[in-house]
Structure 1
Amino acid sequence: LEGMFERQRLTCRGVCVSQGREPTIAVLGSGGGLRATIAMLGTLQALADSDLLDCVSYLSGVSGSTWAMSQLYSQMEWSVNMEQMVSDLRSQITEKKRTCHDSMEYLKQIGNDPTYSLTHFWGASLVYDCLGKIETSKLSDHQVAASNGTNPYPIYAAVHGHRERHSHTTDAWFEFTPHEVGFPTPGAFVSTKEFNHKFDAGTKIKEMNVEKDLNYLQGLWGSALADKKAIWEWIKEQLWRIVHQPQLLSSSPESEQRHCEHCSRKLMEILEILNEGENFEAALSKLNLDETELCGLSDHQNRSSEYYCEKLIGNLETVNEAENKNTFVDEKRCSIPSILIKTVRAVLSWKWGENSNFAYHDSRVKELSPRGLELYKQEYLYLIDTGLENNCAYPLVLREERKVDLVLSFDFSAGDPFL
């Protein structure tokens, strides 16, 4: 019956389709930040108005397009109610008030994640700022909406990169669906609900209580909105917003909050100097601090500046500001939020999208391909925005198992896609 309706819709638009030969159609949406989110909604609205959306089997997105997709599947039959969905999301994006307090409260809740990275902070700051909502539901919650036969099946794209200081080199495509996540090549997948769990040799050795939520995934899928300098400027601005609001840092009396704020400001100044390429000794010199006093190091000639800063951050959590050159606060008097410390650490190492590798030491994966051998050795994955590799997720819909006949690709990039 579905095939008959699909033939009728395509025939009405001049596409001749024989019985039993209905094409499998995939729609692709590119990246492009909030512009891509809005454009993807408009594209789906136009397909629905033309009675073509019901002919689509797969819906795959990159970066900003995934932000639109991941909100649609909260409704069981969104594809037959696009006008209302677009209206609701327009109101959410344009009218809903954003607050730093909401971001901080959310970050405090997820701050104990052992794989905390800049992806968490990006989701709670930039994605929230763009979309007007911190989406705490889970991708697996969309299983029914994805497989009820009414909506296209969603495929969200990412790539796996090797973490390096201030850079990423990308290599392997990674896909997310409500049912499973993994690598099309070499063909390694795990249940979406188990993605956050720790595996060794194919056996689950640590079960996490909470599946990573959609705000985190939106941050992961959409983490390449700008170059590294622009990303750093955004993160720095958000951290300064926290530092400038001492009431978010402590419930202590006002005088003690000032100590906490002062300490946080010093931390941010050091981070800024290090980010500009200067070493740790230069940072301390500019701030009139003595590294030996602060770090308790006697021999630091051949140590890395990142290691020094790690020591400094550790001391920031415990040492009191004294009359000499110290700039710290007593943890009993003032509590610098651990989330600020974790975020600074993530900035120093430029850590994005860290997740336990479910294929770690799994011999089945090692035998699949050279890439499988590589995955076999890696304890962690570093998943980032596909836009860093390609702004269109065609490799995911062209998997042989999906038998896609027709791809409708929509490019929402700022520049000319043909140049």
Structure 2
Amino acid sequence: MAIPQQVAFSAQSHPGPCDESSDISIHVGISDEEKAAVKKRGEVVLRTLKNLDLDVKKVPVASVLVSGGGLRAAIACQGVLSELSREGLLDMVTYIAGVSGSIWCMSSLCTQSDGWQDLEKAENELRRRLQEDSWNFFVALDGLCDAAERDDYSLTDFWSYSTVYYLTKELPGTCLSHMREKSEMGTMPYPIFATINHDLKSSEKEKTPNAWFEFTPDWAGYSTPGAYVSTTHCGSKFEGGKRIQLEPERDFSYLKALCGSALADMNTILKTIKDFFCKFINDSSPQEKMLLADPEGTTLKTTMDQLFNLVYTFLTNGDCLPILENLQCIMTGCKYFYEATALINQMIECWGQTSRDQQRQLTQDLLGKSLNQDLLKQSSVPSFLKFLWKTINCLLSWIWGTTHNFLYKYGDIEDKLLTKKKNIYLMDAGLAINSAYPLVLPQVRNTDIILSFDFSAGDPFETIKATEKYCKACNIPFPPVDDAKLDQEAKAPSDLYIFEGKKPPVVMHFPLFNKVNCDSEEVIKQRHKTYQTFRFTNYSDAEVCQLLEDSKANVRNNKDCILMKMCELAEATS
């Protein structure tokens, strides 16, 4: 099995103004660093427009949005960007903002030294990589053991080294801040990676801008209320606005999992986690061999296996008593599990008479008593044990995206939901709106035109309809949307829809599978069946090429329309 390329881009991050102090930045609108990058990118856009013999002094701000959709979205995103580049349209784009699976593509381009400059080469690299069996068990396991040493370990870490790595065949070690030099030079659209704050979403705050949390090469945080921390310091511990503990910046591998965890389908996610966990605990690895050499090693291995089964069975509403009885037999007599054994005896006696919340708490207590310092000190593989137990614990509580809250106890923010907790939990923004409209709309980044490439499953207009509702709730200008008309065309949409209002932005919306590139409703259905979001088997090269072609066709067939609209806006802003 080939070991994948771990770091394909060797450029180092360089300190910028946002790194000179660890203080939090509170600013309305975009940062000075982003303004400078956008200004430089504007020079590229201006030259491109002048090459079309347009006499313009001010260029329109064009934002490309690429939606979520798992590996389907990652491949389709590559096709869109390749074709935009080939048709000479990419140099008219100021921003690119991604959600979920499309971020897998954006991250990959960022980790290749010439990824944004040679999209055809990047496309060929994608095809090559997806046909290789390059998911390396030992690389993944080593990464998980290292991640388990962090106090902010969550299922996102597990997802990163298991599923996302397995699907994309890539584990890049470079970081988003490494892209500062390229963005400052204007050689690529300014990238925005979207997530959402789980606590704010749970409290219905996703209907306001506050829930959206963005990552850029310079800053990470909330565009509303305008609270940021340097991207290099996101994940470090803060209190009262001051950094109290420095943590290394998370790399693209983690960011891909954070932004693309697809948490909507819990049963599929649970099954996927179970399959990978069983592989890590049962495959013949150096850690497992060392664990079995420990005193009570066989007992430890079996105990961890059964604890995972207990949590999985609880979450899937199965019968936990047989597993508790197995644990009772395994733990009884083992010096490490004296307290845990006593608790299991109690659980067996009262399990049928307790509520589900009480059962969850008892299971949580059991996990806590099953991992103790004496056991870790005696083990030759403490990080391996930590990884296994932390994964089980996070699974029970369904903990994803744990991130130290840089606004913890920060006094200048009125919304206490943003400041009262030490940790925030970031998640796939596709669970709010499967496209990053809230991060590029006019009042934030003065966007004149949005090219929205939608790779969603199901309703091809859901992102448009959801964004209109969001904008109405937040009093943000957005073109009118006729839901009834779109519903009539949802099963066999066209390849382009233009939405315009009295104020910017103009929205050009491109459904991935449509009656133009698929010819018929039947072919559209077949495409959705072939490229399911939760398909975890490898695509053949023919399937990858077909998906690339479908996404490219949406650009190629509408090149003239995109160009005409860009020219209209260029003249309007001159």
Q: TM-score, normalised by structure 2?
A: 0.64
Instruction: Find the aligned partners of 1:133 and 1:75 in 2 and give their Cα distance.
Output: 12
- The code of the aligned residue for 2:167 comes to C
Partner-residue secondary structure (3-state), 1:181? strand
Aligned equivalent of 1:182: 221
In the alignment, is residue 394 of structure 1 matched against residue 437 of structure 2?
A: yes
Deviation at 1:389, TM superposition (A): 0.4
In the alignment, is residue 306 of structure 1 matched against residue 343 of structure 2?
A: no
Contact map agreement 1:250 1:334 (CA 8 A) in 2: no
Contact map agreement 1:160 1:384 (CA 8 A) in 2: yes
Q: Which has the higher helix share?
A: 2
Go from structure 1 to structure 2 and tell me whether the alpha carbon gap of 1:318 and 1:155 turns closer, same or farther (over 3 Å shift): closer
Instruction: Find the aligned partners of 1:36 and 1:206 in 2 and give their Cα distance.
Output: 37
Aligned equivalent of 2:304: 264
Instruction: Find the aligned partners of 1:364 and 1:280 in 2 and give their Cα distance.
Output: 48
Instruction: Find the aligned partners of 1:160 and 1:101 in 2 and give their Cα distance.
Output: 32
Contact map agreement 1:62 1:393 (CA 8 A) in 2: yes
2:458 to 388, 404, 415: 415
Aligned equivalent of 1:216: 254
Contact map agreement 2:100 2:259 (CA 8 A) in 1: yes
Larger mean Cα displacement after TM superposition, 27-36 or 242-251: 242-251
Deviation at 1:49, TM superposition (A): 0.6
In the alignment, is residue 363 of structure 1 matched against residue 403 of structure 2?
A: no
Once the two structures are superposed, residues 225-269 of structure 1 have per-residue CA deviations (whole angstroms, 9 ceiling, x without a partner) of: 650111111111111112222534242567975444322222222
Gaps of 5+ in 1: 12-16, 321-327, 367-371
Deviation at 1:82, TM superposition (A): 0.9
In the alignment, is residue 384 of structure 1 matched against residue 423 of structure 2?
A: no
Aligned equivalent of 1:199: 238
Partner-residue secondary structure (3-state), 1:162? helix
Contact map agreement 2:442 2:448 (CA 8 A) in 1: no
Residues 133-148 of structure 1: pairs in structure 2 closer than 5 A: 133-148=170-185
Instruction: Find the aligned partners of 2:372 and 2:195 in 1 and give their Cα distance.
Output: 39
Deviation at 1:51, TM superposition (A): 0.5
Contact map agreement 1:280 1:305 (CA 8 A) in 2: no
RMSD of aligned alpha carbons: 3.1
Go from structure 1 to structure 2 and tell me whether the alpha carbon gap of 1:2 and 1:243 turns closer, same or farther (over 3 Å shift): closer
Larger mean Cα displacement after TM superposition, 331-340 or 190-199: 331-340
In the alignment, is residue 5 of structure 1 matched against residue 53 of structure 2?
A: no
- The code of the aligned residue for 2:215 comes to F
Instruction: Find the aligned partners of 2:142 and 2:416 in 1 and give their Cα distance.
Output: 41
Aligned equivalent of 1:324: none
Instruction: Find the aligned partners of 2:195 and 2:413 in 1 and give their Cα distance.
Output: 20
Aligned residues: 399
Instruction: Find the aligned partners of 1:330 and 1:2 in 2 and give their Cα distance.
Output: 58
Instruction: Find the aligned partners of 1:253 and 1:401 in 2 and give their Cα distance.
Output: 56
Larger mean Cα displacement after TM superposition, 94-103 or 42-51: 94-103
Instruction: Find the aligned partners of 1:75 and 1:37 in 2 and give their Cα distance.
Output: 15
- The code of the aligned residue for 2:290 comes to S
Go from structure 1 to structure 2 and tell me whether the alpha carbon gap of 1:319 and 1:221 turns closer, same or farther (over 3 Å shift): closer
Deviation at 1:122, TM superposition (A): 0.5
Contact map agreement 1:34 1:64 (CA 8 A) in 2: yes
Instruction: Find the aligned partners of 1:374 and 1:133 in 2 and give their Cα distance.
Output: 36
Partner-residue secondary structure (3-state), 1:112? coil
Go from structure 1 to structure 2 and tell me whether the alpha carbon gap of 1:197 and 1:318 turns closer, same or farther (over 3 Å shift): closer
Gaps of 5+ in 2: 1-42, 333-337, 462-489, 491-574
Contact map agreement 1:118 1:346 (CA 8 A) in 2: yes
Deviation at 1:397, TM superposition (A): 1.0
Contact map agreement 2:223 2:444 (CA 8 A) in 1: no
Instruction: Find the aligned partners of 1:299 and 1:266 in 2 and give their Cα distance.
Output: 18
Contact map agreement 1:28 1:407 (CA 8 A) in 2: yes
Residues 32-111 of structure 1: pairs in structure 2 closer than 5 A: 32-111=69-148
Go from structure 1 to structure 2 and tell me whether the alpha carbon gap of 1:410 and 1:135 turns closer, same or farther (over 3 Å shift): same
Instruction: Find the aligned partners of 1:333 and 1:190 in 2 and give their Cα distance.
Output: 38
Partner-residue secondary structure (3-state), 1:413? coil
Instruction: Find the aligned partners of 2:245 and 2:212 in 1 and give their Cα distance.
Output: 25
Instruction: Find the aligned partners of 1:389 and 1:141 in 2 and give their Cα distance.
Output: 28
Instruction: Find the aligned partners of 1:242 and 1:176 in 2 and give their Cα distance.
Output: 31
Instruction: Find the aligned partners of 1:49 and 1:408 in 2 and give their Cα distance.
Output: 16
- The code of the aligned residue for 2:136 comes to T
Q: TM-score, normalised by structure 1?
A: 0.85
Contact map agreement 1:143 1:179 (CA 8 A) in 2: yes
Partner-residue secondary structure (3-state), 2:111? coil
Deviation at 1:330, TM superposition (A): 11
Contact map agreement 1:260 1:334 (CA 8 A) in 2: no
Go from structure 1 to structure 2 and tell me whether the alpha carbon gap of 1:352 and 1:337 turns closer, same or farther (over 3 Å shift): same
Instruction: Find the aligned partners of 2:361 and 2:159 in 1 and give their Cα distance.
Output: 24
Contact map agreement 1:76 1:144 (CA 8 A) in 2: no
Once the two structures are superposed, residues 175-194 of structure 1 have per-residue CA deviations (whole angstroms, 9 ceiling, x without a partner) of: 10011000111111110011
Instruction: Find the aligned partners of 1:59 and 1:334 in 2 and give their Cα distance.
Output: 43
Once the two structures are superposed, residues 107-164 of structure 1 have per-residue CA deviations (whole angstroms, 9 ceiling, x without a partner) of: 1112111111001000111110011122221111111122221110000000001299
Identity of aligned residues (%): 34
Go from structure 1 to structure 2 and tell me whether the alpha carbon gap of 1:311 and 1:205 turns closer, same or farther (over 3 Å shift): same
- The code of the aligned residue for 2:107 comes to S
Instruction: Find the aligned partners of 1:319 and 1:4 in 2 and give their Cα distance.
Output: 62
Deviation at 1:70, TM superposition (A): 1.0
Go from structure 1 to structure 2 and tell me whether the alpha carbon gap of 1:20 and 1:63 turns closer, same or farther (over 3 Å shift): same
1:274 to 307, 314, 337: 314
Deviation at 1:319, TM superposition (A): 11
